[in-house]
A and B are shown apart, each in its own frame.
Chain A
Amino acid sequence: MHAEGIGDAECVRRVQQGDTDSFEILVRRHQRAIFNLVYRLLGDYDEAAEVAQEVFLSAYKSIGQFRGEANFSTWLYRIGLNHASTRRKSMNNIQQRHVPLDGAEVIADGAVDPAKSFEHKEIQQRVQQALNRLDPDDARIILLRDLQDVPYEDVAEMLDIPVGTVKSRLHRARQALKTNLAPYFQANRKAS
């Protein structure tokens, strides 16, 4: 695909005109962000892959309704959040779900020390479990803001709430996550 320089709006216009191939540009451009958001919300790689696939297919079917009033990424995130929330509700015992530390994850930090690598994976597993125990709304706002680094305004638009509400809800979500990670903090202090 040699059209990577084309913006989202142009790709959307082309897709709306029937150019299905242009949608592949959008998939390649946003698949990682959508997949990671869904994966962190669900805590399951296979579920995340399936839901992320549904998100893009749903976006393609609904792209005729996209009027360009918001960024395509914002619109796509919104679809991803809705699909992930629906799937999360249908998943049983997500809070007790064991997060596997297999080779499916590609650790971005590139740690080479096996001991440090194992430590990092253990920390990541604890954080993921803490996220799984959060309220879905708290988990979504933490992931959007702290993992995806989405601006307040975009988060407000994705969740369809005011910016002030985003801030207050983010503060409450962080307090809840801190509570969930309290055992990790205590162990870390003892270790230090």
Chain B
Amino acid sequence: MNCEEVQKYLSDFLDESFDIERSQVIADHLVGCPRCSKEMASLAECQRLVSGLPIVEPPVSFTTRVMAEVREAANSPSLWERLLVPLRIRIPLQGTAVVLIAVLAVYLYQKEPLQREAGVSFQPESSFGKQEETDKFGPIDTPAPTAPGKRKQIGEETQTRVQEFKDSVQSKKPQSPISEERHQPAESNQLAAPGAARSQEQIRSPATLSPAPLQEKYPVVNDPASPRLEQFSLSGNVPGEESAPSVPQPEKESASKDAALARKSSVEKSAVSSLNPLSSGTLMDAALPAENELAIRLKEPVRDDKNMGERLSSGRIQAGRQSLALQEEAKNIEQAREQAVRTGQSQTVWVTIARNQYEIFKQELAELGNIEVESSTPEPKSDTIARLSDRLRIKVTILPPSSPAGNPLPSEPSGR
């Protein structure tokens, strides 16, 4: 082992971390090598100097100060605890607030549909007491949510208007002598005010009414209520708008009807939505046109082979003013006329036309016979009803031709 190798291991030799054999080799080298021996002495002196450094006593109060800080740290909350202490205060407050807001929101959300439903149904229910029939229509969505206070105001206004309508209907009772005389006493309550009875049906929902109840109430061959109501629902318009004379194009109406039939579900929805304002009472009376009564004595014999539908159709072509609705009504009247001739009994047909078509309708009707009775109800005073009076509901009583066995005339009307 040369000097370089020995000096490399002198530190280990100094610490006696070598085995005996290698330590002996190094010891033998140091005895014979003054340079390595001098280096070994220097390292040993350094070790002695460091190990000979005195032990320095810490400050007297060192333990006390350390333990004071330790106890303070033990009693003080940890970092997590310091972070969570404010949360322990805030979490209940904020959590309670969030829970309360959530509960309130759920409560208001659940209460909203009930208010809507009540807003739709309370008018006809409270007016006519048809709870079981109105329930099946369900709630109708309003176009926009209304504040409860405003909704309440609208409800009160609607109740006022409905009450006005009811008053007007009741005032018409003595003006409907035909109905009172031509039906059974048991049905007199319902038939005393046929306009009101019809109004009940139309108020509930014209789009979903079936003709069966009307067939039972009115013993007529042709009940125009169904096609009329169906047409209302398909068009999705209020009756006054549908039969306005400004839209006389048959092709357009036919295309519109076909499209409406193809999109029946959506159209029905639009029909319902178009009647949504009725739920609030603002336009509820839109389905209640004015009422006229006509009693016609058929000519004997009928000289013209053309039925009224054909005549009206040709007239419409000539005048270009009759609507598809008028043509439909004419067909119904023609069927009633044939029934009256065949059975010799009077027939009643309900017709709903545009008000401005009344004269045309009456002229065409006069070709079938003599108009013996013509009456009308007073003009409505309400702005709402007046606005909706574009439509005219006419009760047409077709009397068989005069004969020894003819039916008696209806009672004398009070109108014009």
Contacts and interface: CB of A to CB of B under 8 A. Distances in A.
A20 B74 contact: yes
Given A53-B62, A57-B70, A106-B56, A123 B49 contact: yes
B12 interface: yes
B236 to A, nearest CB: 76
A178 B7 CA distance: 14
Contacts of B17: 152, 167
A167 B53 contact: no
A146 B44 CA distance: 11
Contacts of B70: 20, 23-24, 27, 56-57, 60
B57 A32 contact: yes
Contacts of B47: 146, 174
Given A56-B66, A146-B51, A181 B8 contact: no
Contact of A107 (B54, B59, B66, B67): B54
B57 A106 contact: yes
Given A31-B62, A181-B46, A167 B11 contact: yes
If over half of A's interface residues share one DSSP class (helix, strand or loop), that class is named, otherwise mixed; here it is helix
A109 B74 CA distance: 40
B49 A181 contact: yes
A32 B55 contact: yes
Given A49-B58, A108-B55, A174 B66 contact: no
B69 interface: yes
B71 interface: yes
B46 A174 contact: yes
B42 to A, nearest CB: 5
A52 B53 contact: no
11 contacts: A20-B74, A36-B56, A49-B58, A57-B66, A108-B54, A131-B50, A142-B50, A152-B17, A167-B12, A170-B15, A178-B43
Given A52-B58, A181-B45, 15 more contacts: A20-B70, A20-B74, A24-B67, A35-B56, A49-B59, A49-B62, A52-B62, A57-B69, A145-B15, A146-B47, A167-B12, A174-B11, A177-B46, A177-B50, A178-B43
Interface of A: 20, 23-24, 27-28, 31-32, 35-36, 39-40, 45, 48-49, 52-53, 56-57, 60-61, 104-109, 123-124, 127-128, 131, 142-143, 145-147, 149, 152, 167, 170-171, 174-175, 177-178, 181, 185
Interface of B: 8, 10-12, 15, 17, 42-43, 45-47, 49-59, 62-63, 65-67, 69-71, 73-74
The 3 A-B residue pairs whose C-beta atoms are closest, nearest first, are A171-B11, A35-B58, A146-B50
